[in-house]
């Protein structure tokens, strides 16, 4: 049993449960994936499996080191690959060249979905951190600025992590404990309840829930 699977976000829709309840779901193209490499404590110092998402990729899009790495397992045509750590000797039967398909996951199973959120560009503190801002009247000339970012005499510096304007979005986001609503094994499609980070067409990592 694979610890997870790679895929693409197709979009959102809604489905009806047998009792008539409407459930918002995200449609994920999950797999087919191939095991590119199996890492073991003896050879690599830790236990992990490296999966590659199989899709059409131009040969010019993959450099020679990557192509040579994937050729060992017969995984030509893989661009997106990620590694899953294995614990307590689990999945000892997985080896390079094995296929991982959507049918390894079942409805009502709980999973975590990891993706890259949509990039919003530069944003100020009001939009990025939900600062309230100051008065917009009574002669105020201080509206959307962050205010004090530290004292002068001590510590005479700005602490790391201070909330300020900057790049918003385009970060790795993990959404935990999403329910699998439906699995279409024939088309390698998984429907998970709720929203998933990233744009339509963005790569996602679907792993079995850890909490």
Percent of all residues in the chain with a pLDDT value above 90, rounded to a whole number: 38
What are 116-168's pLDDT values in tens digits?
999 999 999 999 999 998 888 998 888 898 988 989 888 899 999 999 999 99
Report the C-alpha gap between 94 and 82 in whole angstroms: 15
> Which residues lie closer than 8 Å to 36 by C-beta, 6 or more apart?
50, 51, 52, 69, 70, 73, 75, 78, 81, 96
Residue 89, pLDDT > 70, answer: no
Model confidence at 185, pLDDT cuts 50, 70, 90, reads confident
Model confidence at 169, pLDDT cuts 50, 70, 90, reads very high
Q: Mean pLDDT, to the nearest integer, of 29-49?
A: 83
Mean pLDDT (the chain) is 86
Burial per residue of 126-140, b for 16 or more beta-carbon CB atoms within 10 angstroms, e otherwise: eebeebeeeeeeeee
DSSP string, 164-187: -SEEES-SEEEEEEEEEEEEETTT
Is the pTM here over 0.85, yes or no?
A: no
Q: Mean pLDDT, to the nearest integer, of 3-11?
A: 90
Q: Identify the pLDDT of residue 163.
A: 94
- The one-character DSSP state at 37 is E
Query: Domains plus CATH for the chain?
Result: 4-123+172-208 (2.40.30.10), 124-168 (no CATH)
Is residue 177 within 8 Å of 211, Cβ to Cβ?
yes
Residue 47, pLDDT > 70, answer: yes
Tokens representing 174? 């993990």
Model confidence at 103, pLDDT cuts 50, 70, 90, reads confident
Residue 41: phi and psi, rounded to 5, are -60, -30
End-to-end CA distance of the chain: 18
């Amino acid at each position: 049993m694979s610890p997870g699977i790679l895929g693409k976000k197709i979009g959102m829709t809604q489905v009806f449960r047998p009792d008539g309840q409407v459930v918002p779901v995200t449609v994920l193209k999950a797999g087919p994936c191939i095991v590119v490499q199996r890492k073991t404590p003896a050879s690599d110092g830790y236990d992990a499996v490296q999966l590659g998402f199989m899709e059409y990729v131009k040969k010019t899009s993959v450099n020679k080191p990557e192509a040579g790495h994937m050729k060992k397992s017969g995984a030509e045509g893989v661009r997106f690959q990620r590694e899953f750590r294995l614990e307590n000797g689990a999945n000892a039967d997985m080896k390079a060249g094995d296929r991982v398909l959507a049918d390894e996951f079942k409805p009502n199973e709980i999973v975590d979905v990891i993706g890259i959120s949509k990039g919003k560009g530069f944003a100020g503190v009001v939009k990025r951190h939900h600062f309230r801002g100051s008065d917009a009247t009574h002669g105020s000339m201080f509206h959307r600025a962050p205010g004090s970012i530290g004292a002068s005499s001590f510590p005479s510096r700005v602490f790391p992590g201070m909330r300020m304007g900057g790049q918003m979005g385009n970060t790795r986001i993990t959404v935990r404990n999403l329910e699998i609503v439906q699995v279409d094994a024939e088309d390698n499609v998984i429907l998970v309840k709720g929203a998933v980070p990233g744009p339509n067409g963005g790569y996602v990592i679907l792993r079995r829930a850890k909490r």
